[in-house]
Amino acid sequence: MNIEIIDIPKIKDTRGNLAIIEKDVLPFKIKRVYYLYDVPSDAYRGGHAHRNLQQFIIPLSGSFEVVLDNGNTKETVMLNKPDKGLLIPTGVWRELQNFSAGSVCLVLASDEFDESDYIRDYSEFLNYINR
């Protein structure tokens, strides 16, 4: 599966750390930013894939799991460090689950919202990637 954990450059300081995303940290220009918070621990988010959109997911606070599926392989990635993010390319089904109390999930996206880019039905996703 073509996912990648990317180390976010940081400046360590006794007053607190500073993480920086600029220039060539991501393989795309950021066109949309959103975040998830107050997600109940027994809830899940996602449940879709994208045709063109790429995403970079960062656990700003707390932890959660991202279940990734390319139609052949499933992989679960635990995100719990705010200086590491998960790059999800196009054509990968994702579900976010097991949110810890107080967790905040930041998503940086390669494009603005476009409903036609979403694949929300798993059977349709399998047809899309196997065409």
Catalytic residues: 48
3-state secondary structure the chain: CCCEEEECCEECCCCCCEECCCCCCCCCCCCEEEEEECCCCCCCEEEEEECCCCEEEEEEECCEEEEEECCCCEEEEEECCCCEEEEECCCCEEEEECCCCCCEEEEEECCCCCHHHEECCHHHHHHHHCC
Phi, psi of 126 (to 5 degrees): -60, -40
